[in-house]
Structure 1
Amino acid sequence: MTARQRQIVSSGSFVISRKQPLVLDAYLGSCVGVALWDPVAEVGGFQHLLLPEPIDGGTPWQPEKYAKTGLPLFIQALCNQGANKTRLKATVAGGGLIGPVSPLDLDLDIGGRTAEIVCNLLEKEKIPVIEREIGGFFGCKMSMDLSSGETGISPLLNPGDFKTSAGLLPPTPAQLQETIQKIKPIPQVVLKLLRMLHDDKDSLKDMAKQVRQDQVISARVIQLCNNVFFSLKMKADSIDRALVLLGEKQFLQLVLSATMKDVFCDETHGYSLCKGGLYTHSVGMAMACEKMAQRISRQISPSVAYTAGLLHDIGKVVLDQYVGQFRPYFYRDIFCKAQDFLSVEKAYFDTNHSEIGMSLVKDWSLPEILHDPIARHHEPELADKQPELTALVYLADLIYSRFVMGQELERMNTDGIAFSLKVLNIRQTQLPALIDEVCLPFHGIN
């Protein structure tokens, strides 16, 4: 039988369709997925909700990402396509407490509140929920088959039937070092751009000329410029046009992002849970860190924050080539046994992606300001030179790991929350508004 085509329903959006041979998928952590189907009209849809309700109670810029404003829009859109509200059947999943649970998680309970609003609205509209998998401590994958309206809920990764990892050989230090040496270095033109990204005095005219001379980078910059990430109303057909549309700083960020696509592997057998998962996570993190820096800190340059977010997991590029055979055991130890992510890497490889990342940083002579965010983004309290930037990357990664699932194998611990909030001068009462704003770049990312 021919495999059905699949489509990801990205966070903060919904998809509506009549009966067709297509499967809709969403990866859910704290987010909540809602599938609705009218069996008579044979029309249905899938909604991927990020947050419970707008912080200020007003009309939000993106109403579809909130349960309170988005679910009514979703139901109305289905009815506009021929569905009858009295015939709709619902499936609801997600709303979990992902990762080690802190008192702050329990206090905010964003996933639980989102799920509660969804269930209350469905009850108010008299739409029966025929299947629900809400809460818990694990992420899940939710699917909807548009040929039948059937839905399925499964773990993000099935560890399989295993008892021991005995017999699996981890890489030796010599093999790891050889892999580090083989990793394609960042081109010199990009290293120059990276230095310029942190210096407001330089002109980009000559640098744009150098970018144009590299055909591969030029093509990828134009492609990424026209991607949904940047949501430009006009299309770029040249490097000069991209520079005009984006402006100097965002153009530099785009060149760096496009170049890193060569560094991150596209395979799905390692850390990535989907094709290009590591790269997509890194670009999303870059945008989230930039947004957070713009909102909360006058001390941290948004451009520097963008770069730190993009490169924070660079060490995974090396270990990614060895994770495949251990991935079920990683999943078991991290999610079932709630072990620390870096400790699990250390147990299997005698190193971790933060340590490997520092080796790459030194080999590539990256700016010193990026060292702590790469080496200490899981342990911000250990950052000695850039505690604010490291805390920002940690907090963005923690939020990202809760709301954008299905990209990579990751679990952020919550030990650094108190330190990060303190060093960034964020009160606990400000966190919901920060999450709301920082989640804006996640809209459409999957």
Structure 2
Amino acid sequence: MSHYAKDFPILNQEVNGNPLVYLDSAATSQKPFQVIEAVESYYKEINSNVHRGVHTLGTKATDGYEGAREKVRRFINAASVKEIVYTRGTTTALNIIASSYARPRLKEGDEIVISPSEHHSNLIPWQQVARATGAQLKYFPLEPDGTLDLKKAEETITERTKLVAIAHVSNVLGTIFPIKELARLVHRHQGVLVVDGAQSVPHMKVDVRDLDCDFLAFSGHKMMGPTGIGVLYGKESLLEEMEPFEFGGEMIDHVDLYESTWKELPWKFEGGTPNIAGAIGLGAAVDYLESVGMDEVDAHDRRLAAYAVEKMKEVEGLTVYGPTTDRTGLVTFNIEGVHPHDVATVLDAEGIAVRAGHHCCQPLMRWLGVSATARASFHLYNSEADIDRLMKGLQKTKEYFGNVLG
């Protein structure tokens, strides 16, 4: 067990009579004491709405809410807190970009380019934009190992390409896509680059100014924060041009009977009472990750992924998908003749939690030629010992279904 595991109270339990091994962090990460206590403290000590009140609790709540925004700004190196918009998560952030940026600007003849490995939340919004505007949806070709050839990417992007949307890290393949280089290609044609950072921001140092992406979306719950809170980063000049996504309280400046004006950034995108506890919890998660250091997090997760891939190579009939090197902390696989749901069920009986299914990536499953896969994904609280437990569980799965099928 990783020495960080002591910070995560949920891990101190047994599942089906076995010590829990949690290998599903790509779906949602576990939360350290520091995050749980920050959320509890908000509700116990300062629960109040933000921005409007002048009383003491309202001021403390506002300070916590906006203080967390500054922590997030620093964490991804945005130029200003105006560029940090709180959302419900990655999905909402991507939908805001699609609805408030892309739909009003794209037209027939324009192109949107994405990859076939995208999570549905970074695929369906662009299908809808293409349908509504007449723009053409195009796909980058992937290499057999799920990586992107920049030369082929350059050939795919044309002067008609107005928007490119791609995950920084694939939630199935573990592929780390070359965002900085893609940004250069996209900007050469005056397009904008949208990055799904759901699987990268929790696991590696992400510097939006260095990457030069135009938008970045990510979720708190995958980076040890609470559910229901996420972030839309956008370059200030682009966010200024965009209309709000939702209308109502909190996001208005002046309201007349027939006309209204909006608050300045970032609040014009934050209509209604926000997820204050979630934002404060997200700030605590940033504090926790920074106390470890994102370089350490990155190295730890890559080391575990490499260890898992090497161990899985030794198992006959087991296929690992994605690149064999330069991948972040997840491994997706199948055992010949055994459905991934059966794999996950046997592992669960051993106290090992993995994900099985299409992982919200049905087009990628078809590209891989499978209906579903199993996925083990790691974070700071995991160790090589957890992977050793996984391998024993996979051997037991093979033995069980070998006997059943034999």
Instruction: Specify if TM > 0.5.
Output: no
Q: TM-score range by the shorter chain?
A: under 0.3
The structure richer in strand per residue is: 2
Which structure has the higher relative contact order (CA within 8 Å, separation 6+)?
2
Normalising by structure 2, we get a TM-score of: 0.27
**How high is the TM-score relative to the length of structure 1?**
0.25
